[in-house]
Chain A
Amino acid sequence: MSATTTESTNLEQQLVAFRLATELYGVGIGQIQEIIRLQEITPLPRSEADMAGVINLRGKIVPVLDLRKRLNLPEADPTRATRIIVVAHGDGCVGLIVDDVTGVLRLPKDTVEPADRMAGGLEAEALLGVGKSGENLVLLLDLEHVLRGKSATLEEAA
């Protein structure tokens, strides 16, 4: 899936925006397969702490990542707004737990700046950049990095 080409024009890109802790994040809309409500997650034993477990998505077993933990954000209890964003990964897909999905937004490309100016608990390399949508800052999440990093640690552990 060539996310960056399908949904983006030269001038702006379409993102699904979601909230994690205090920040607003965005992921290219083409990378997202679906967004579902939080459902029962079967924990996976002996796996990484940020691996929440697996869910049954219409007969498919889909692993779910706790994105807060993955990004070293403080843990929080789920609420009614908590969602799982399902993204394609390799041959299958992976779910990401987020606090809330706020909707789709268009981000003019010229507002995007490199992420290294960001600080805080967040790993800067997990971001593609920071954009501005109205008054809000949107952190563009580098899904490849988030998921690849995950797989790599697992491989090392195995």
Chain B
Amino acid sequence: MNDDMSEFLGVFLDEALEQIALLEQAFLRLEQEPTAELLQEIFRAAHTLKGSSRAMGFVSMGELTHAMEDVFDRLRHDELTVSPELMEALFGGLDALKAMHDEVAAQGMTALDTAAQTARLRAVLKGAPSPAGEAVPPAPASDPVSAPTSMVTLTATQLAAAQDALGAGCSLYQLKIVFAADCVMKSVRAVMALQMLAPISSVLALYPDEEAIENEEFESEIEVIVATEKDMETVRAAVLRTNEVRAVHISEHAENGRLPRRQNTQALPETITQPPATQPIVSEKKTTPREEGLEKTKTTPVVSEISPSNVAVSAQSGGHSGQEGPTAASASRTSPPPVQSHTVRVDVARLDCLLNLVGELVIDRTRMAQLCSQLEAEAGGLSLLETLSETAGHIGRITDELQNEIMKARMLPVDNVFSRFPRMIRDLAQKLGKEIQFVVEGKETELDRSVIEVIGDPLIHMLRNSVDHGIELPEAREQAGKPRQGTVSLRARHQDNHIVIEIEDDGKGLDPEKLRANAVNKGILTQEAAARLTDREAIHLIFASGFSTAQVVSDVSGRGVGMDIVRSNLEKLGALIEIESKVGVGTTFTVKLPLTLAIVRGLLVVVRGCVYALPLNSVVETLLVEADAVHSVGQSELVHQRDQTLSLVRLSDFFALEANTTPAERTLEKARHQERRDRTKPPASPRTAANRARKTDVLEVDISANPDAGNSLAREPHAAGVETIANKRLTLVIVGLGNRQIALAVDSLLGEQEVVIKPLGGFVGEIRGIAGATILGDGRVALIVDVPDLVTAVLEEKGKAHAAGR
């Protein structure tokens, strides 16, 4: 591919992806209920894809879509009926298209051979009853547009569309685009020129027709009639942006005749190959054409019975494929009356960058507010200070608004992820011999891009799980007195500052007894421990690592990823996951996600002089307890709170803060910031990665979920080793997700604040229990605690300790 094509590659890929997605959805509907409109829609999408892929030089892609297009042409003329073989061939073709798209996206080219898929489609066509399998669509000879005059004309329907457009305040222009004589890929240039026109105008007619253009069946010029709100110069400039366009003759089109009223030609010197901005635009009486256009508007009778939806493209596309193409299709999107688009495509990186900048502002806003209050405390009463405070307050509000707006701009409907599921469920159901109805609700629910990007995989696994393990085979369902067809529902909705996604199936449900037995067999739990689990706890066992209820690991749910990974991935996003299940009735997974991952509200706590932020969505409550509320059990500590026994983790111990603080650092701290650190404990020996595992003494704790907890508590109620906390009240933060809660002991609470999550970067790598860092109002760095990870780490270490104990 040539260099100046590459700038279109991004647009091409985006559009191709859109078309492929559209096709996929349409195929699924086609399978259910083929309607004429649907076929029309599919045909158009296939045609657009064919046109643009050919224009970009992806021949095999073009061939394949061409074959698909032919199939749809037959279908919509009732010369072919929808059959399973046909659908398989179509889906196969679609998969190949996707693969090609991905290859092009990754490498800028595709080497995939689509001959097999194309042949398959052709074979389906051959099997068709009517006009023997010539794959080429009917020649557009009968089409008035392609009449062999030298001038492009409007057909009756096009004329109606034109009049409609004129009625909407547009002007009609006739363009003759002349390509350089030595132009190598005239067809490509022509399509590119048409693509240039598409965003600013509606192409009403062109000569030769699009098929011919794609096949390079024209000499050195093409003619186009467009309807647009823009003036001539804008249109001309747009076309001239295409390389190797030698000249553009533009004139107004008299809507009732073929005679151009005004000729306005600009020729390009042939030596210039990069025309755009530097080209002087020669145009006398710039406003004239526009004015005339307006005049015309007044005199033109508006053909009101023609609705915008059936003008131009769709109205006349009857039996000939030749008239529609990328330009025509995009014209139909903006179509008459051409309204200026109110959206722009923005690079995601730019949005990310904006959000980062706003993040900086958020930090500075907080800092400014702090400085102001400090100033007021030290030098209150100055009127200048008052003004400063007001300004700071204003900047703060603006920052908030800006942040909100940018967050909104980053929102995408969750359909972006959901749209790929119906196909997946369909394939899966077919493979497993199950009958499944897939219901999607709330796909318009909006969610930040950062979240959209990451929820796809966990949802896929959960859906696979529902289809594979949840829904029974049709026969089994009948025996159980249920309809043969199972239902899997995927629902999204907003709730407070969260989005809730539910996956529900009406399958066999999770059987707590089986789960218990399974856990024992797999050595995850002892017989007694399993027996002590409540049903609810037993159901949550499917999230335990190394747990899979399927007797045979199928290639469906298998794939090496268990529900434990699903949960930990979701929890990394700050999501909560819950299961409700009833044997024989079904299972519902509920995932509660934050709206964004970039900015969170955090509870700031102080531990050994360092500030840590605990994301508020994982904080259950904070409380102050007397030291004697803490019970030591062996090496672990427990706290009793509201009928719950929670394991207590001292954040300072978990993070080994004392150990990490070397004399040099302490002096450094001392030198600059006075003694801030709590030195009630003697410094422990420096800890290295090697002896981290030994650090189980603080980690070996029980949590409420553990059935052994109550037991051991009874055995050793007040053990020794509480002297460090004697006569002291403890500040506790109860954190956790779902039924896994622990109590974190901190030195003090600082308050709530919005924090911008910044990564620690690759050099630091991942630190257990730390999600990232943020910058506080005073410029200090606070670490953000990764609560789910911390809880998991605590539980893991506990598990190890238990294993060792037995």
Binary interface profile of A, 44-72, with partner B (CB < 8 Å = 1, else 0)?
11111101111110011101001011000
Q: Of residues 121 to 158 in A, which have CB atoms within 8 Å of B's CB atoms?
A: 147, 150-151, 153-158
The answer to whether B610 and A42 touch across the interface, beta carbons within 8 angstroms, is yes
The answer to whether B672 and A40 touch across the interface, beta carbons within 8 angstroms, is yes
Give the complex CA separation of A92 and B762 in angstroms: 8
The answer to whether A153 and B779 touch across the interface, beta carbons within 8 angstroms, is no
Give the complex CA separation of A66 and B765 in angstroms: 17
* B319 on the A face (CB < 8 A): no
Q: Which of A45, A49, A94 contacts B763 (CB 8 A)?
A: A94
**Contacts A42-B782, A45-B770, A56-B780; is A63 near B763 (CB within 8 Å)?**
yes
Give the complex CA separation of A46 and B363 in angstroms: 27
| Nearest A-chain residue to B652, judged by Cβ | A45
Give the complex CA separation of A48 and B769 in angstroms: 15
User: How many of B's residues come within 8 Å of A, CB to CB?
Assistant: 45
| Nearest A-chain residue to B688, judged by Cβ | A49
The answer to whether A78 and B773 touch across the interface, beta carbons within 8 angstroms, is no
Give the complex CA separation of A150 and B689 in angstroms: 13
Give the complex CA separation of A115 and B673 in angstroms: 39
* A43 on the B face (CB < 8 A): yes
Q: Of residues 753 to 769 in B, which have CB atoms within 8 Å of A's CB atoms?
A: 758-769
**Contacts A45-B657, A45-B770, A54-B773; is A151 near B763 (CB within 8 Å)?**
yes
Q: Chain B contacts of A51 at CB under 8 A? A: 764
Chain B residues proximal to chain A, CB less than 8 Å: 360, 363, 610, 654-657, 660-665, 667-669, 671-673, 686-689, 692, 758-770, 772-773, 775, 779-783
The answer to whether B661 and A43 touch across the interface, beta carbons within 8 angstroms, is yes
Q: Chain A's nearest CB lies how many Å from the CB of B783?
A: 7
User: How many of A's residues come within 8 Å of B, CB to CB?
Assistant: 44
What's the count of A-B pairs with C-beta under 8 Å? 128
The answer to whether A61 and B758 touch across the interface, beta carbons within 8 angstroms, is yes
* A21 on the B face (CB < 8 A): no
**Contacts A47-B767, A55-B781, A75-B662; is A40 near B775 (CB within 8 Å)?**
no
Give the complex CA separation of A49 and B686 in angstroms: 7
The answer to whether A42 and B662 touch across the interface, beta carbons within 8 angstroms, is no
**Contacts A40-B669, A63-B761, A76-B664; is A46 near B769 (CB within 8 Å)?**
yes
Q: Chain B contacts of A42 at CB under 8 A? A: 610, 773, 780-783
The answer to whether B764 and A40 touch across the interface, beta carbons within 8 angstroms, is no
The answer to whether A91 and B768 touch across the interface, beta carbons within 8 angstroms, is no
14 interchain pairs, CB-CB under 8 A:
A42-B781, A43-B660, A44-B770, A48-B689, A49-B662, A61-B760, A61-B775, A63-B761, A66-B665, A77-B668, A77-B671, A90-B763, A151-B762, A153-B689
Q: Chain A contacts of B770 at CB under 8 A? A: 44-46
Q: Chain B contacts of A49 at CB under 8 A? A: 660, 662, 686-688
The answer to whether A44 and B665 touch across the interface, beta carbons within 8 angstroms, is no
The answer to whether B664 and A44 touch across the interface, beta carbons within 8 angstroms, is no
Q: Chain B's nearest CB lies how many Å from the CB of A49?
A: 5
Give the complex CA separation of A137 and B664 in angstroms: 27
The answer to whether B668 and A91 touch across the interface, beta carbons within 8 angstroms, is no
Give the complex CA separation of A77 and B766 in angstroms: 29
The answer to whether B762 and A90 touch across the interface, beta carbons within 8 angstroms, is yes
Give the complex CA separation of A126 and B232 in angstroms: 68
Binary interface profile of A, 76-96, with partner B (CB < 8 Å = 1, else 0)?
111000100000011110100
**Contacts A45-B655, A45-B660, A78-B671; is A61 near B765 (CB within 8 Å)?**
no
The answer to whether A56 and B775 touch across the interface, beta carbons within 8 angstroms, is yes
Give the complex CA separation of A147 and B761 in angstroms: 13
The answer to whether A75 and B663 touch across the interface, beta carbons within 8 angstroms, is yes
| Nearest A-chain residue to B660, judged by Cβ | A43
Q: Which of B660, B664, B763, B781 contacts A147 (CB 8 A)?
A: B763
**Contacts A59-B360, A75-B663, A76-B664; is A45 near B783 (CB within 8 Å)?**
yes
The answer to whether A40 and B692 touch across the interface, beta carbons within 8 angstroms, is no
The answer to whether B360 and A61 touch across the interface, beta carbons within 8 angstroms, is no
Kindly list the 8 A-B residue pairs having the minimum CB-CB distance in the complex, ordered from nearest. Answer: A45-B655, A157-B689, A42-B781, A77-B667, A154-B765, A78-B668, A75-B664, A61-B773
The answer to whether A45 and B769 touch across the interface, beta carbons within 8 angstroms, is yes
The answer to whether A66 and B363 touch across the interface, beta carbons within 8 angstroms, is no
Q: Chain B contacts of A47 at CB under 8 A? A: 660, 764, 767
Q: Chain B contacts of A153 at CB under 8 A? A: 689
Give the complex CA separation of A84 and B689 in angstroms: 25
Give the complex CA separation of A117 and B527 in angstroms: 65
Interface of A is mostly: mixed
Q: Which of B657, B758, B765, B766 contacts A151 (CB 8 A)?
A: B765
Q: Chain B contacts of A36 at CB under 8 A? A: none
* A38 on the B face (CB < 8 A): yes
* A3 on the B face (CB < 8 A): no
Q: Of residues 25 to 51 in A, which have CB atoms within 8 Å of B's CB atoms?
A: 38-49, 51
Give the complex CA separation of A154 and B760 in angstroms: 13
The answer to whether B763 and A92 touch across the interface, beta carbons within 8 angstroms, is yes
Give the complex CA separation of A94 and B655 in angstroms: 22
Q: Chain A's nearest CB lies how many Å from the CB of B259?
A: 63
Q: Chain B contacts of A147 at CB under 8 A? A: 763
The answer to whether A61 and B759 touch across the interface, beta carbons within 8 angstroms, is yes
Q: Chain B's nearest CB lies how many Å from the CB of A90?
A: 6
| Nearest B-chain residue to A157, judged by Cβ | B689
The answer to whether B761 and A61 touch across the interface, beta carbons within 8 angstroms, is yes
Q: Chain A contacts of B762 at CB under 8 A? A: 90-92, 151
Q: Chain A contacts of B610 at CB under 8 A? A: 42-43
Q: Chain B's nearest CB lies how many Å from the CB of A21?
A: 12
Q: Chain B contacts of A155 at CB under 8 A? A: 765
Give the complex CA separation of A92 and B765 in angstroms: 13
| Nearest A-chain residue to B783, judged by Cβ | A42
The answer to whether A56 and B764 touch across the interface, beta carbons within 8 angstroms, is no
Q: Chain A contacts of B360 at CB under 8 A? A: 59
Give the complex CA separation of A54 and B758 in angstroms: 12
Select the residue from A39, A47, A150, A158 with max chain B CB neighbours within 10 A: A47
Can you name 5 extra interface pairs (CB under 8 A) apart from A38-B672, A52-B665? A41-B665, A45-B660, A45-B770, A56-B781, A91-B762
| Nearest B-chain residue to A39, judged by Cβ | B672
Give the complex CA separation of A7 and B397 in angstroms: 47
The answer to whether B664 and A68 touch across the interface, beta carbons within 8 angstroms, is yes
The answer to whether B775 and A46 touch across the interface, beta carbons within 8 angstroms, is no
Q: Chain A contacts of B768 at CB under 8 A? A: 46
The answer to whether B775 and A59 touch across the interface, beta carbons within 8 angstroms, is yes
Q: Chain B contacts of A43 at CB under 8 A? A: 610, 657, 660-661, 665
Give the complex CA separation of A153 and B758 in angstroms: 23
| Nearest A-chain residue to B692, judged by Cβ | A46
Q: Which of B656, B766, B780 contacts A45 (CB 8 A)?
A: B656
Q: Chain A contacts of B655 at CB under 8 A? A: 45-46
Give the complex CA separation of A46 and B649 in angstroms: 15
The answer to whether B760 and A45 touch across the interface, beta carbons within 8 angstroms, is no
| Nearest A-chain residue to B360, judged by Cβ | A59
The answer to whether A66 and B664 touch across the interface, beta carbons within 8 angstroms, is yes
| Nearest B-chain residue to A60, judged by Cβ | B758
Q: Chain B's nearest CB lies how many Å from the CB of A151?
A: 6
Q: Chain B's nearest CB lies how many Å from the CB of A68?
A: 7
| Nearest B-chain residue to A156, judged by Cβ | B689
The answer to whether A48 and B688 touch across the interface, beta carbons within 8 angstroms, is yes
The answer to whether A63 and B764 touch across the interface, beta carbons within 8 angstroms, is yes
| Nearest A-chain residue to B670, judged by Cβ | A77
Q: Chain B's nearest CB lies how many Å from the CB of A47?
A: 6
Give the complex CA separation of A113 and B5 in angstroms: 53
